[in-house]
Amino acid sequence: MSSSSSPPVNATDMLLSLPPEILDKILARLPFKEVGWTCCLSHAWERRWESVPGLAICFRRNYNATDISHVLTRCAAHVEGFDVFVCRLFRRRALCWLRVLADKRVRSLNLNFESTPDDVHRGVGLMFPTIASAIYDCGDLCDLRLSYCQLPPPALSFAGLVLSTVSLPFAGAGAMLERVIAGAPDLDDLVLRKVSTGVASSEVEAWAIRAPKLRMLTLWMVIDNGGRIAERLPLLKTANIVVDCLLGSEDLLDTLWKVASVKVLNFVVYKREPCSGQ
């Protein structure tokens, strides 16, 4: 008698037999384009990617804006990252994406708006698009990178602003931040942690932090971004200061004088290796 052979096991079916949380972790670690390709594997995989939490959506070149809107609409879970090169044709669409991403609890956001050499030399002017105020609704953000765009002024009721690991690599970015901070008269909690501004090859552009009603301030500036406290902060209660780049300068003394009325001061200096020959 001839023995009957078992039918071959489909590799995709084997993957679907994994616990959902394990399969989610596998898919979330794949490049987003490859995650999208899984919808072609079988009928069972057609919409599997939609429920994966923590996807990192990335569209750099040669895409259609409708594709991104379609992806964001279909994602049922939170989005870990959103990394998009925004060409001029899609600027307005990008503003709509921000509103959706706020609801998707995005944690890492990189919007690189298309620019020309003339844009770079002229700095932050009217030709740079202003992104949607929904950027302030993205409360889960821990990594923000914006290129060649302007931040909108916050609402008058804006009381807290957290900018952590923010890169604004264009001329005039510091002045733009100054306007944003000063445009919130009721701001009482400000966090500027690892914020870089300006073009790397240019001199650091000076800009001022004006927030007279501040009660809490975190200023973490290991690399000088040009930002300085403009005036004394009489209402300040807690200050967390990391300004290694100002060590040995009068700017350090000036910073400490501006927060002299503080109740609690956490002043941190990271350990540095001594220079050779000293």
DSSP-assigned beta bridge partners for residue 151: none
Cα 10 from Cα 241, distance rounded (Å): 57
For residue range 123-149, what is the model confidence (pLDDT) as tens digits? 444 467 778 778 888 878 777 788 877
Instruction: Look up the pTM and report it.
Output: 0.64
Contact 122, 116 (CB under 8 A): no
pLDDT band at 165 (very low <50, low <70, confident <90, very high): confident
Contact 114, 82 (CB under 8 A): no
Measured CA angle at 208 (ends 236, 219), to 5 deg: 50
240 versus 17: which is more confidently predicted? 240
Contact 48, 30 (CB under 8 A): no
Question: For residue 66, what pLDDT is reported?
Answer: 86
Question: For residue 1, what pLDDT is reported?
Answer: 40
Cα 149 from Cα 161, distance rounded (Å): 18
Which amino acid would we find at residue 237?
K
Contact 80, 108 (CB under 8 A): yes
For residue range 220-276, what is the model confidence (pLDDT) as tens digits? 988 899 999 999 999 999 999 998 889 889 999 999 999 988 999 999 887 554 433
For residue range 168-205, what is the model confidence (pLDDT) as tens digits? 888 888 988 898 888 878 888 999 988 888 887 778 88
Calculate the alpha carbon distances from 266 to 97, 143, 221, 239 in Å.
Answer: 38, 23, 14, 6
